[in-house]
Amino acid sequence: MHLNMHLNMLSYVQKIIPPVIDILIIPYDAVLYLRSLVRAAVFFGSWAKQSRPFVRKPVAQKHKMNQSSPLEQIRIQKRYELKWGQKTHRKKELDRNRAGLGELEHSIGVIEHITEQEIKGLAGRIKRRKRCDPLDLVRLSYGFQQSRENIAHFIRTTGAINVIVKELTGHDYNLQLLAAECLCNLSLGDDVCCEKIANFAGTYLIALAENPNCRPLQETCFWTLQNIVGSSPKGSKLLFSQGLVVVLVRLLSSVTEQEAADDIILTLELALNYEQEIEPATLTQIVQCFVGRQLHPSSLRLLYKCYGLSSSELVCHDSSSSIIRQCLDFLFSVHDLHLPTHAASILLSIRILAYQASAGTRQVEEILRYQLQKSVLKLSLLFNDCAKEEMLPVCKEFLWLLGQLHSNGGACTTTAELLQAYLAYDNFVEAICVPKALL
C-alpha cells in the first residue's frame, strides 16, 4: 500500500515540476536539487517493481522448509549410502568365506593327501619362522594321521616340535587347541616320538589337563597323555617323574563331571600297567576317591584293577564298607535294564564283591546286613535273570560270590545269624537255576 502511494506521487511530481519551473522563477541550485530527488524516486520505484513483496510465513511452513532443506537432504542421502555400503560389505565377506562349487572338495582333498615332502617343507618353514599359522597346524595334524612316515620325517627335523610347544603355551586359545591336536596326532608315532613329546611338552600337557575351564583343550591333552602312557614305556617314566599320577589322583578326588572323570580314570588305568612305578599308597588313594560316589562302568574298571594289584590290606581298608554298598546299589540300578548291555559292569561289580567276601567275615556281614536293610534286590533273582540271558561268565563269577557268602557266613555266631536271616529272605541255595553249560 505504501509502495503504491510513493509511485503515484512520483508520477505526479514528474508531470507538475516542469510547468512550475516555467512559471515560477526558482534558483538554478534548487532546480538541480529537485531533479536529483525525482531521479532517486524513479530509481526506487523501478527497483520496487522488480523485487518480491515481503510476506511473513507461518511457523509450521518454516519448519517444513527446514526439513526439506538441502543440508537435511544431504544428511539423509549419506545415511542411506552408509547403510547400503555396510550391507554390501557384509555380503561380500560372506561370499568370500563361502566355498564355491567344487572349491570345498578341492580344499579337503589337498588337506587329506599330504605327502612326505610337504611335511618336510612345513617342518622347515615353522622352524625358520619360529611360529605356526593355524593352517600349518591343521595340515600337520592331517599329515600325522595319514602315516607314521610323516611323523618320522617331522621328528627328524630338529627344533620343529619346539615351535608347536611354543604355540601350546601361548595366549591364543585357538592356536593352543590346534597345537594340542597336532601333538595328539604326533603321539601316534613310535616310542622315540612319544619320548620327545613327553620331554618337551610333558609338564605343559599335565598343567593344561589340570585346568577344567577349557574342556576341549583339557580333553585333547588327556588324549595325548593316554597315547604316550599306553604305548611308550620311556615316555611314561618321564611323565611319572613329572608328577602325572599325583595330579590325576588329585583331579579324581575333586572332579564333578562324569565326562572329565572318564578321561582321568582311563589315564590312571593305563598308568597302573606300570605297577612297578606305582606306590601301594597310591592305590589306597584311588579307591578312597570313589567312596560315597555313584559308580559307573569306568569307575568299576579302575576299582577292580586297584584290588587286583593290591594286597589284602586294601580290601580290609575302612573304605571297603562304602565300596560294598555302592556295588550293590549299582547291581540294583541295572537289574531292570537290558542285562547283556551291562554285562561287563555287572561282572566287575560281582568280582569286587567276591574279593570283599573272601577277605573276612566283616565284609560278609556288611553285604548281608545291607541286603536285609534295603530289601530291594535278591541275588538269586539277579542270577537267574543272567542265566536266562546266557551270560555264562557273569554266572560263573556269581557262583563264586555266593559260595564265599555261604562258606564264610558260618565262621562266627553273628555272621551265621545274619546268613540265616538272609536265607529266609532270599534262599539262593535252592532258588538259583545254574545253566547246564556250567554244570
Choose among 66, 60, 54, 43: nearest CA to 1.
54
Position 180 in a domain: yes
Q: Which residues make Cβ contacts (< 8 Å) with residue 372, sequence separation at least 6?
A: 418, 421, 422, 425
Position 93 in a domain: no
Is the pLDDT reported for residue 63 higher than 50?
no
Q: How confident is the model at residue 68 (pLDDT cuts 50, 70, 90)?
A: low
pLDDT of residue 104: 44
Position 277 in a domain: no
pLDDT per residue over 343-365, tens digit each?
999 999 999 999 888 888 888 99
Which residue, 221, 242, 263, sits at the end of a domain?
A: 242
pLDDT of residue 72: 86
What cell was used for 129? 619362522
Percentage of residues in the chain having pLDDT higher than 90: 51
Percentage of residues in the chain having pLDDT higher than 70: 79
Which residue, 226, 242, 258, sits at the end of a domain?
A: 242
Q: How confident is the model at residue 111 (pLDDT cuts 50, 70, 90)?
A: low
- If one compares 426 and 17, the residue with the highest pLDDT of the two is 426
Q: What total of structural domains would you count in the chain? A: 2
Q: What does the pLDDT average to over 230-234?
A: 92
Choose among 359, 281, 270: nearest CA to 320.
359
Position 91 in a domain: no
Position 268 in a domain: no
Mean pLDDT of the chain: 83
Which residue, 181, 209, 242, sits at the end of a domain?
A: 242
pLDDT per residue over 10-30, tens digit each?
455 455 445 444 444 445 455
- If one compares 315 and 155, the residue with the highest pLDDT of the two is 155
pLDDT per residue over 318-346, tens digit each?
788 899 999 999 999 999 889 999 999 99
Q: What does the pLDDT average to over 217-246?
A: 94
Is the pLDDT reported for residue 109 higher than 60?
no
pLDDT of residue 13: 46
Whole-prediction pTM: 0.72
Q: Which domain holds residue 400?
A: 316-438
Instruction: Tell me: do 220 and 323 sit in the same domain.
Output: no
Position 422 in a domain: yes
CATH number of the CATH domain containing 233: 1.25.10.10
Q: Is the dihedral of CA 139, 144, 150, 153 positive or negative?
A: positive
User: Angle at the Cα of 173 (from 170 to 176), degrees rounded to 5?
Assistant: 60
